[in-house]
């Protein structure tokens, strides 16, 4: 066994041992579990009674508009004689939400629009949510666009498979595009079952060579056949998920059969149509995969412990992805209303960003292979709201180090601002995934208006 596999096994072992010890050592854990379940059942009964008794229609309108600026302090060196764009971005974004409810029927519309005045590649329009849902006694039915996020980790969203990541919006992989789906959820005493049917698929976006945060070569999406893998447009993606809460433990597991949301990449030197030249480019292939996922979160006292794991099979490949995290929170530090959290996360993948599989030159896109994160979280909730996360990471395989910052501050009732930063402090030329970003460290700020 390799050292990286031993590290991942040790993290999993420590997670389960600490979880068992925390639960066994907690006082009145049975009373706590009963109270939590009682509150959940009471809340469900109240909501059902209100809907049944009133049957009134209700409109909700909220959302936010924000102005964002992103600054790249270091000028990039041209890649293969392709000049980079400006060292700054300026964009305006609108994210309204409209919701209409009548008895057991609900309609929700959440468009997302962004206009970037400098880099047109970041301008975008999407429906994060646009669905109709109908609720029965123990069953919820939904059809339309929606976002499903089951991840409990801070950085690597290991278990998420339904939605495509919106790399234009955030490099932290915490923003998703809306996915067209038909879903049925059944609530039982022993847990909830959720069936998803997805008739369409959205490929991953990669910035072209002339944009910032570009991997270098262009990523060819042939308009006549954007899906170069075994998937066809008539393919129906299917996912069945089970979730349940056992006192302080939240458990989720699923099985998925359908199109992978991350591509296999094949480097070609024949020249890409995107640039109309002989520059090398990547061909994207989205294979049909079978994937099983597990997410588990345990909260006891000030400890929060998390684990996510997936097992994927396609063609002649097998991929195991693992993410393990732990967080401890200090409440009311120094007698104030602020909370301080310390967290660490470890990620492992048995596949690397290198040639693999039966076809020479094929790269499996696996961003987190053997990475460890550590950081602090500062939060405050009162008349104003503050959330600030600072983290450092290391790639144990290539010895690549990075620094990440993300914060949000809301004041008054309608205003706020945010900050986000990322950069590599050390990177090896052998790191094929991150080496193209060596000059793309950035700092961005937003001015937000909520309505």
Which pLDDT tens digit goes with each residue over 302-329? 899 999 999 999 888 888 999 999 999 9
Would you say 328 and 344 are in contact if contact means Cβ atoms under 8 Å apart?
A: no
Please provide the size of the chain in residues.
Answer: 451
- Would you state the pLDDT for residue 363? 62
- Among 441, 428, 401, smallest CA distance to 213 is for 441
Position 432 confidence tier, pLDDT thresholds 50, 70, 90 = confident
Give the CA distances from residue 295 to residues 109, 144, 162, 241, 423, in Å, rounded to whole numbers and listed in that order.
29, 25, 15, 11, 29
Would you say 173 and 224 are in contact if contact means Cβ atoms under 8 Å apart?
A: no
Question: Which position has the higher pLDDT, 198 or 367?
Answer: 198
pLDDT at 270 over 70: no
- Among 205, 195, 202, smallest CA distance to 227 is for 202
Least confident of 115-129, 155-169, 183-197, 427-441: 427-441
As a whole number of angstroms, the distance between CA 163 and CA 207 comes to: 19
As a whole number of angstroms, the distance between CA 264 and CA 292 comes to: 19
Question: Which position has the higher pLDDT, 13 or 118?
Answer: 118
Would you say 7 and 350 are in contact if contact means Cβ atoms under 8 Å apart?
A: no
Least confident of 263-267, 273-277, 351-355: 273-277
Q: Residue 395's Cα: distance from chain center in Å?
A: 19
- Would you state the pLDDT for residue 52? 40
pLDDT at 356 over 60: no
- Residue-wise pLDDT tens digits, 122-155: 899 999 999 999 999 899 999 999 999 999 998 8
- Would you state the pLDDT for residue 268? 65
Mean per-residue pLDDT of the chain: 79
CA dihedral angle for residue 169, residue 173, residue 177, residue 181, rounded to 10 degrees? -170
As a whole number of angstroms, the distance between CA 128 and CA 383 comes to: 29
Residues of the chain above pLDDT 70, percent: 74
What SS3 class is residue 326?
strand
- Among 19, 46, 59, smallest CA distance to 247 is for 19
- Would you state the pLDDT for residue 220? 59
Q: How far apart are the first and last CA of the chain?
A: 55
The bridge status of strand 218-220 relative to strand 281-285 is: parallel
Max Cα–Cα distance, the chain, nearest Å = 69
Least confident of 174-183, 250-259, 423-432: 423-432
As a whole number of angstroms, the distance between CA 436 and CA 290 comes to: 31
Q: What is the DSSP letter of 14?
A: H
Least confident of 133-147, 222-236, 259-273, 376-390: 222-236
Handedness of CA 431, 432, 438, 444 (dihedral sign): negative
- Among 377, 340, 373, 245, smallest CA distance to 298 is for 245
Least confident of 163-172, 244-253, 290-299, 385-394: 163-172
**Winning range, highest mean pLDDT, from 204-208, 221-225, 288-292, 362-366:** 288-292
Mean pLDDT confidence for 68-96: 76
- Would you state the pLDDT for residue 12? 44
As a whole number of angstroms, the distance between CA 164 and CA 144 comes to: 15
- Would you state the pLDDT for residue 413? 83
- Residue-wise pLDDT tens digits, 9-57: 444 444 444 444 444 444 443 443 443 344 344 333 333 334 444 557 8
- Would you state the pLDDT for residue 129? 96
pLDDT at 291 over 60: yes
Q: Please compute Rg for the chain using Cα positions.
A: 23
pLDDT at 77 over 90: no
Mean pLDDT confidence for 366-378: 87
Would you say 154 and 173 are in contact if contact means Cβ atoms under 8 Å apart?
A: no
pLDDT at 64 over 60: yes
Position 350 confidence tier, pLDDT thresholds 50, 70, 90 = confident
Would you say 325 and 345 are in contact if contact means Cβ atoms under 8 Å apart?
A: yes
Give the per-residue SS3 of 151-208. Answer: CCCCCCCCCCCCCCECCCCCCCCCCECCEEEEEEEEEECCEEEEEEEECCCCCCCCCC
Sheet holding 264-268, edge to edge: 218-220, 281-285, 264-268, 362-364
As a whole number of angstroms, the distance between CA 326 and CA 193 comes to: 27
- Report which secondary-structure segment, H or E, holds 35: helix 29-54
What SS3 class is residue 441?
coil
The bridge status of strand 88-102 relative to strand 105-116 is: antiparallel
Mean pLDDT confidence for 226-255: 79
Residues of the chain above pLDDT 90, percent: 47
Least confident of 51-55, 221-225, 318-322, 341-345: 221-225
- Would you state the pLDDT for residue 300? 85
As a whole number of angstroms, the distance between CA 46 and CA 52 comes to: 10
Number of H helices, E strands in the chain: 2, 22
CATH fold of 3-450, please? Porin (2.40.160)
As a whole number of angstroms, the distance between CA 283 and CA 273 comes to: 11
What SS3 class is residue 64?
strand
């Amino acid at each position: 066994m390799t050292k990286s596999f031993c590290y991942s096994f040790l993290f999993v072992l420590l997670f389960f041992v600490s979880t068992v010890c925390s639960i066994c050592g907690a006082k009145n854990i049975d009373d706590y579990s009963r109270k939590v379940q009682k509150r959940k059942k009471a809340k469900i009964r109240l909501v059902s009674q209100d809907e049944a008794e009133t049957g009134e229609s209700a409109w909700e309108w909220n959302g936010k508009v924000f102005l964002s600026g992103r600054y790249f302090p270091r000028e990039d060196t041209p890649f293969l004689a392709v000049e980079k764009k400006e060292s700054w971005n300026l964009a305006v974004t609108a994210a309204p939400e409209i919701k209409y409810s009548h008895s057991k029927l609900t309609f929700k519309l959440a468009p997302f629009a962004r206009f970037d005045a400098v880099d047109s590649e970041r301008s975008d329009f999407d429906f994060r949510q646009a669905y109709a849902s109908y609720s029965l006694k123990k069953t919820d039915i939904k059809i339309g666009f929606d976002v499903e996020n089951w991840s409990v980790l801070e950085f690597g969203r290991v278990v998420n498979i339904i939605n495509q990541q919106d790399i234009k919006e955030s490099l932290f992989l915490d923003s998703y595009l809306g996915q067209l789906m038909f879903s049925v959820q059944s609530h039982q005493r022993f847990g909830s079952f959720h069936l998803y049917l997805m008739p369409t698929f959205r490929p991953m976006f990669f910035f072209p060579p002339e944009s910032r945060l570009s991997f270098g070569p262009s990523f060819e999406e042939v308009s006549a056949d954007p899906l170069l893998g075994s998937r066809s447009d008539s393919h129906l993606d299917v996912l069945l998920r089970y979730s349940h809460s056992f006192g302080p433990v939240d458990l989720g597991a699923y099985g998925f059969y359908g199109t992978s949301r991350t591509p296999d990449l094949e480097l070609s030197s024949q020249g890409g149509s995107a640039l109309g030249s002989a520059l090398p480019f990547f061909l994207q292939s989205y294979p049909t995969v079978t994937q099983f996922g597990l997410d588990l979160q345990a909260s006891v006292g000030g400890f929060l412990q998390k684990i996510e794991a997936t097992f994927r099979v396609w063609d002649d490949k097998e991929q195991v992805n693992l993410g393990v995290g732990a967080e401890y929170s200090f409440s009311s530090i120094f007698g104030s209303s602020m909370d301080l959290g310390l967290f660490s996360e470890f990620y492992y993948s048995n596949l690397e960003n290198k040639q693999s599989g039966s076809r020479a030159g094929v790269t499996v896109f696996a961003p987190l292979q053997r990475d460890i994160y550590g950081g602090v979280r500062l939060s405050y909730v009162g008349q104003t709201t503050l959330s600030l996360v600072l983290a450092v990471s290391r790639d144990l395989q290539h010895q690549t180090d990075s620094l990440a910052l993300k914060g949000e501050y809301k004041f008054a009732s309608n205003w706020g601002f945010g900050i986000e930063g990322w950069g590599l402090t050390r990177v090896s030329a052998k790191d094929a995934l991150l080496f193209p970003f060596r000059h793309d460290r950035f700092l961005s700020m937003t001015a937000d208006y909520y309505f």
